[in-house]
Chain A
Amino acid sequence: MSLISIQTPNVTGKKYWRSLNQLANTTEFREWVHHEFPANATEMLDGNSRRTVLKLMAASFGLAGLAACSRPVEHIFPNSAGTEADNYLPGEPFHYATVMSIAGHVTGLLVETHDGRPTKIEGNPDHPHSLGAATAIQQAIVLGMYDPDRSSKVLQGGRESTWPALESAVQKLALGDGAGLRFLSGFVSSPTLDSLRAGVLKKFPKAKWVEYEALARDNELAGANMAFGQPLYAHPKWDKAKVIVALDHDFLNLDAPTPFFTLAFSKRRRVGSDEDLDKMNRLYAVESQFSLTGANADHRLRLKGSEVRQFAIDLAAALGAMPGLNVVNNGGSADKRARFLAALAKDLKAAGPEALVVAGPRQPASVQALAALINEKLGSECVTYTKPVIDKSSSGVAALKALAGEMSAGQVSTLVMLGGNPVYSAPADLQFAVALSKVATSIHLGAEDDETAAAATWHIPEAHVLESWGDEASSEGMAAIQQPMIEPMYGGKTAAEIVSWVTTGKFTKSHDIVKNYWLPQFAASKEQGDKEQIWRKALHDGVVAASKTVEPIKVTVDAKKLASALAAEPQVAAAGIEVGFYPSSSAWDGRYANNGWLQEAPDPISKLVWGNAAMISPKMARDHKLTDGDVVSLTRGNFKMEATVMIQPGHSDDAVSIALGFGRQRCGRVGKGVGSNANLIRTTDGFYFAPGFTLAATGKREDLATTQERGTGDNQEGRPLAREGSVEEYKKNAKFVEEMAEVPEVHSIYSEFVYDKGNQWGMAIDLTSCTGCNACVVACAAENNMPVVGKDQVMRGREMHWIRMDRYYSGDENDPEVIEQPIPCMQCENAPCENVCPVQATSHSPEGLNDMAYNRCVGTRYCANNCPFKVRHFNFLNFHKHEPEIVGLVYNPDVSVRMRGVMEKCTYCVQRIEETKIKAKQDGRREIRDGEIKTACQQTCPAEAIVFGNINDPNSRVSKLKKQERNYAMLAELGIKPRTTYLAKLRNPNPELTA
């Protein structure tokens, strides 16, 4: 990155950016870019080249600064009062409301920008699906925006071309009535794009538009179709439900790329008073892979994906929901299943209107329909159905299959692919790449120069969410405007722009497209002002008040038709090993594979980072004589892949679960070749799970990087660390939590230091509501400028996360229970780390913070050794050394970037504390209002499990929580007086099953 530093001696501020902009246009810079990031750059994470990690961090930002300064020319409106133009203060951050959609899950976001560069993503409190929370993936996309590996050039046949060249090429196309014209897009949730779709299909009547998502909600609609005769979205009212049954539905993590479900679910997982205890919901999970939902379930039944259908049928039968169906009792080995089923049915009946059965997106239409049926029969009031606001008739695998068929048959002359990476993500049996080669003109709009970009005749760089004008409507129609914080850094285009361009032949900027779509729909009124004002308000709020949300419709299931449909549904023989395909908690379907923050965020259950693995049960491992790290081949017909084995307690037997989104071959240097590509064995007939696989050991071994020691270190060794109990236990004896550990009276030989003045910061973490999603981990990384260290360093135990998610198994390895425990710094009042630091680099603030002076640290690591929680992290290498100055672009300017050789740790986001104190002073206030300061982890937590505040104020939320009997301090017996305390996890098991 030398050139950058040479070209930009320590000049800061706007001048600095300008010089970079000029720099960006010089030819030598372009050459340097190619030289510095060759397309086939060796994957930076191979164990023995950790330096490439540094290159990555450098690279991740190499080009970032070039356009970072240029604000969108159109007016964007910060969420904070007034426009940026009005009250712009250098250094003062602005927050902009925008929105993003992942496979139709729409979440409003609030983006913090410093001097025009996005640095941090939060949830938008005004958006009903966010309420201020955001998932790990949503927060991490800001790093993706600065990713230099993003496609930046128009490509023709994989070679660099220009926009004019593309224009002329497209003008030459004789589209006629569009007989040979096809559009392939991801899940369309943008009203504007939908209207453009209508427009283009009107102009080219014979053209077709197909929607395909590798991880979609199509089964949900199909299920409604089967049950009600029309495609409908189901809207579970999680917070209304007392008894919830999740049929292979990981709604707390993988199957819900939105904080919304967790938000609603956890409402009834908080315990303040006794009525809360009675109101607490009970969750039953039926699943194959051990999911976060399974971990939070009060009862979990492990079944293969394919066995869930029969379970649903039996459940319906047990509830008498379907005439002519009796419970099929497999007996014997299924004994646990039978007991589970019986107790569940009884519990559901009892819950009645408060019962909720949900089927996961992996489950076929029949299971979705059965869920609907059961809910109806129980008279559940916890689920409503709405018609899709955007037509979904040509969406899903079948539609893609048809398209691929047309393509192979040469019936498609022009294919426009709007986003996505079908060559990588399409089912293997479609052989999409081959089909694509038959298409004369294929235009791919994509964020990356990926597998599809290489195969298509034309490729257009796609603008990032934070760079684009657009809009997204939630499944019930709540729309929000997507506004960019900066101009597209690599001249990216949006899908809307391309579609309108193809339709009209002339290019319109997405801002105008979106605005022209919405303005006519606004009704000017006295209180709301003219349309322009409404538009501004929409931008400001991040939600369109005027958006027409659809009302729930009353529908009933035709049991008879359903029964026949069930009978008609083809059944695959359940022989051999079953493979299930899951979203990745970091790469999703592969679109986030090049994001370092996500790659390094451990999977909530397996704690796996930098890759995926073939998850198998301990029993299966013994049967096949496999251990962690063995590479196996999975074969079914012509389809074969190799994957690394990881033993997952609680996994169903004779089944393999594998995450999608890995093994990308044409990808940036972060994601290239990380993990193995499960799409190779994913076929249309076994899209989410398929039986009939053969598993064979290859004799090869591959290191898996986990953030927790495998095997040992998975359970609590009988130590009272993450404490839990049942609601019953708690009712009987609320003191059981503190009785779990004897805390001796400690008499110090010193007169102890008393903290009774002013603000005394403390934190309470409620393990009952915490689900263990990684939102806080990524939030902390983003807020506190955490470096990405790479697989090799993680394997050496050098990951830098200031807050980590500890996971413990308990009980039988086949049916374990899991408890998740977030571990930030405990801010001990008698901090063992402080006593041992020879140079006073870490000492206590009057407000009770365990401060760390980075520039005083000499790096003896004595403090880390003496920390009972091991929350101190050492910069073993200089992870920032090779970064150009523009790395600062994504970094939080309020937090210093740590150098090699110093210790670092959680600070309770001291920068936020100080910022708020200054604000308070400016308002002439002395005291800080309770809840005015939110730590990054607390702010983003969808379950509101983390509460931070002043423990010196008896009325603060945190003080109240700490007064609860569930409250305990970990390792209090050491006399360290931790400021971070935990509220024990309360499970709500069914007495019938615990007996």
Chain B
Amino acid sequence: MNLDELKDKIGIGEDKVYAVMGAFTAPEDLVEGGRKIREMGYTKLDAMTPFPVHGIDEAIGVPPSKLGWLVVWFSALGCATAITLIWYVGAIDYRLVIGGKPYFDFSYTIPIAFELTVLFSAFASFYGLWVFNGLPRLYHPTFNYSQAHRASDDLFLLVIEANDPKFDAETTAEHLRSVGAGDVEVVEG
């Protein structure tokens, strides 16, 4: 893959429009605005907020996270790993009589099985989080938005991406203003 293709793929490139962005000062305004924009038929929407704004997902149509399932599988894997390890060590690989106890018994696998279950789930949710979010990714076109640095402070940004079929820089910017967003800009990748 050459550089241009790569840039295309992640939407970077001179004179390449990435999105139209606008800012709200209150979360509920963002939700409101987002909902309206969506009603206009936009589908490729995103928001950037300093804290999780309740209702925004439904408003701009962000699908619920699937992270849960990943964790379920990994927890099962963790539990299995523990029991297999203890069984293999005790009953197969190195059979030693310890205090007259059997080579393998479920009773003494419980604590470690539990711990590994937890450990694996934790890894799943932690790494899952970043993988699902496509992070770490140190650069993102939205950072070119003049107010981007305030998205982690006190501004609530709405993003309408350029790959939206209904996207057209001017009209989209208009729409965005019409729902009450300020500082509307066309952001280039």
Partners in one complex: yes
Residue A835 lies at the interface, judged by CB distance under 8 Å to chain B = yes
- Chain B residues, CB < 8 A from A843: 96-98
A831–B102 CB distance below 8 A: no
B96, B100, B101: most-surrounded residue (chain A CB, <10 A): B100
Q: Which residues of chain A have C-beta atoms less than 8 A from B28's C-beta?
A: none
| Contact status A840-B101, CB under 8 Å | no
Q: Nearest B residue to A975 by beta-carbon distance?
A: B100
Asked if B99 CB lies within 8 Å of chain A CBs, one says: yes
Of residues 94 through 150 on chain B, the ones whose CB sits less than 8 Å from some CB of chain A are 94, 96-102, 105, 107
Residues of A within 8 A of B94 (CB): 840
Q: Assess the A750–B102 pair: CB atoms within 8 A.
A: yes
Interface contact A844-B97, CB-CB below 8 Å: yes
Contact with B along A750-765 (1 / 0, CB 8 A): 1111000000000000
Inter-chain contact A751/B99, CB cutoff 8 Å:
no
A residues near B101, Cβ cutoff 8 Å: 750, 753, 835
- Chain A: interface secondary structure? loop
Decide if B100 touches A977 in the complex (CB within 8 Å): yes
Cα-based distance from A829 to B100 in the complex (angstroms): 6
In the bound assembly, the distance between CA atoms of A831 and B96 in angstroms comes to 13
Q: Which residues from chain B contact A834 at a C-beta distance below 8 Å?
A: 98-99
A830 interfacial by beta-carbon distance below 8 Å: yes
Contact A751 B98 (CB under 8 A): no
Q: Within the assembled complex, what's the spacing in Å between the Cα atoms of A656 and B101?
A: 55
**A802-831 at interface with B (beta carbon < 8 Å):** 829-831
Q: Are the CB atoms of A831 and B99 closer together than 8 Å?
A: yes
A478–B170 Cα gap in the complex (Å)?
127
Least Cβ–Cβ distance between A663 and chain B, in angstroms: 49
> A844 near B105 (CB under 8 angstroms)?
no
Residues in B neighbouring A568, C-beta threshold 8 A = none
Structural contact, A752 and B100, CB atoms closer than 8 A = yes
Encoded as 1 (CB less than 8 Å from any B CB) or 0, chain A from 832 to 858 comes to 111101001001111000000000000
Q: Is the CB of A830 within 8 A of B96?
A: no
Count how many chain B residues have C-beta atoms less than 8 Å from C-beta atoms of the other chain: 10
What are the residues of chain B within 8 A of A73 when measuring CB–CB?
none
Q: Which residues of A contact B98 (CB under 8 A)?
A: 834-835, 837, 840, 843-844
Q: Which residues of A contact B105 (CB under 8 A)?
A: 750
Q: Check: A749 CB closer than 8 A to any chain B CB.
A: yes
**In the complex, what residues of B have CB within 8 A of residue A835's CB?**
98-99, 101
- The docked-state distance in angstroms from the alpha carbon of A844 to that of B97 is 5
* Cross-chain contact B100 with A753 (CB below 8 angstroms): yes
- Nearest Cβ in chain A — how far from B187, in angstroms? 58
Cβ contacts under 8 Å, B102 to chain A? 750-751, 753
Residues in A612-659 with C-beta less than 8 Å from chain B? none
A829's closest neighbor in chain B, by CB? B100
The interface residues of chain A lying within 8 Å CB-to-CB of B100 are 750, 752-753, 829-831, 844, 977
Bound Cα distance from A837 to B98, whole angstroms: 9
Contacts of A830 in B (CB 8 A): 99-100
CB B94 to nearest CB in A, in angstroms, measures 8
Q: How far is the CA of A843 from the CA of B107 in the complex (A)?
A: 20
Query: Which residues of the partner chain A approach B97 to less than 8 Å between Cβ atoms?
Result: 753, 843-846
The interface residues of chain B lying within 8 Å CB-to-CB of A752 are: 100
Q: How distant is the Cα of A977 from the Cα of B99 in the complex, in angstroms?
A: 10
In the complex, A840 Cα to B96 Cα: how many Å?
8
- Minimum distance in angstroms from B103 CB to a CB of chain A: 9
Q: Name A72-131 residues within 8 Å CB distance of B.
A: none
Q: Which residues of B contact A845 (CB under 8 A)?
A: 97
What is the CA–CA distance of A753 and B94 in the complex, to the nearest angstrom?
Answer: 16
- Can you list, as one digit per residue, whether each of B85-99 has a CB less than 8 Å from chain A (1) or not (0)? 000000000101111
B170 to chain A, nearest CB (A): 71
Closest Cβ of chain B to A969, distance in Å, is 15
**By CB atoms of chain A within 10 A, which of B99, B102, B107 has the most?**
B99
Taking the closest CB of chain B, its distance from the CB of A847, in whole angstroms, is 11
**A832→B99 contact, CB < 8 A:** yes
Instruction: Tell me, in angstroms, the Cα distance from A269 to B120 when the chains sit together.
Output: 67
Q: How far is the CA of A845 from the CA of B100 in the complex (A)?
A: 11
Taken together as a complex, chains A and B put the C-alpha atoms of A845 and B94 apart, in Å, by 13
Q: Look across to chain B and name the residue whose beta carbon is closest to the beta carbon of A754.
A: B100
Q: Give chain B residues whose Cβ lies under 8 Å from the Cβ of A829.
A: 100
Shortest A855–chain B CB gap in Å is: 16
CB distance from B99 to the nearest CB of A (A): 4
Question: CB distance A749 to B99 under 8 Å?
Answer: no
CA distance A750 to B100 in the complex (A): 9
Query: What's the Cα separation between A834 and B98 when bound, in Å?
Result: 5
A698 to B96, CA, bound (A): 60
Expressed in whole angstroms, the Cα–Cα distance for A816 and B159 within the complex equals: 95
- Chain B residues with Cβ below 8 Å from A832 are 99
Q: How far is the CB of B62 from chain A (nearest CB, A)?
A: 48
Q: B residues 143-187 with Cβ under 8 Å of A? A: none
Q: How far is the CB of A474 from chain B (nearest CB, A)?
A: 50
The CA of A752 and the CA of B101, in the complex, are separated in Å by 6
Set of chain B residues within 8 Å of A833, measured between Cβ atoms: 99
A385 to B94, CA, bound (A): 67
Residues of A near B107 (CB, < 8 A) are 749-750
With CB as the reference atom, state the residue of chain B lying closest to A837. B98
Closest CB-CB distance, B102 to chain A, in whole Å? 5
Task: Report Cα–Cα, A752/B103, bound state, in Å.
Answer: 11
* Residues from chain B with Cβ under 8 Å of A977 in the complex: 100
Alpha-carbon gap, A829 to B105, bound state (A): 18
Contacting residues of chain B (59-98) with chain A, CB-CB under 8 angstroms = 94, 96-98
Alpha-carbon separation in the docked complex, A694 to B164 (Å): 113
In the complex, A390 Cα to B100 Cα: how many Å?
A: 62
B101 nearest CB neighbor, chain A only = A750
Within 8 A of B (CB), among A463-515: none
Q: Which residues of A contact B99 (CB under 8 A)?
A: 830-835, 844
**For B96, B98, B105, which residue has the most chain A Cβ atoms within 10 angstroms?**
B98
**Contact pattern, A 37-78, Cβ under 8 Å of B = 1, otherwise 0:** 000000000000000000000000000000000000000000
Closest Cβ of chain B: how far from A837's Cβ, in Å? Answer: 8
How far is it, in angstroms, between the C-alpha of A845 and the C-alpha of B96 when the chains are bound?
Answer: 8
Instruction: A840 to B101: give the CA distance in the assembly, Å.
Output: 13
CB neighbours of A751 from chain B (8 A): 102
Once bound together, how far apart are the Cα atoms of A357 and B102, in whole Å?
60
List, in ascending order, chain A residues with CB within 8 A of B96's CB.
Answer: 840, 843-844
A837 CA / B96 CA spacing, docked (Å): 13
For the complex formed, measure the closest distance between the CB of B122 and the CB atoms of chain A, giving whole angstroms.
24
Measured CB to CB, the closest approach of chain A to B116, in angstroms, equals 17
Q: Residues of B contacting A831 with CB < 8 Å?
A: 99-100
Residues of chain B within 8 A (CB-CB) of A844 are: 96-100
Shortest Cβ distance from B90 into chain A, in angstroms?
Answer: 10
Q: Cα distance A197–B102 when bound, in Å?
A: 73
- Report how far A843 CA is from B99 CA in the complex, Å: 7
CB-CB nearest in chain B for A977: B100
Interface pairs A-B: 7 shortest CB-CB: A835-B99, A830-B100, A844-B97, A834-B99, A843-B96, A753-B100, A834-B98
- Could you give 15 example pairs across A and B, Cβ below 8 Å? A750-B101, A750-B105, A751-B102, A752-B100, A830-B99, A830-B100, A833-B99, A835-B98, A840-B96, A840-B98, A843-B96, A843-B97, A844-B99, A844-B100, A977-B100
List 17 extra interface pairs beyond A843-B98, A844-B100, CB under 8 A.
A750-B101, A750-B102, A750-B105, A753-B102, A829-B100, A830-B99, A831-B99, A831-B100, A832-B99, A834-B98, A834-B99, A835-B98, A835-B101, A840-B96, A843-B96, A844-B97, A846-B97
Q: Spell out B's residues near A (CB within 8 Å).
A: 94, 96-102, 105, 107
A interface residues (Cβ-Cβ under 8 A, vs B): 749-753, 829-835, 837, 840, 843-846, 977
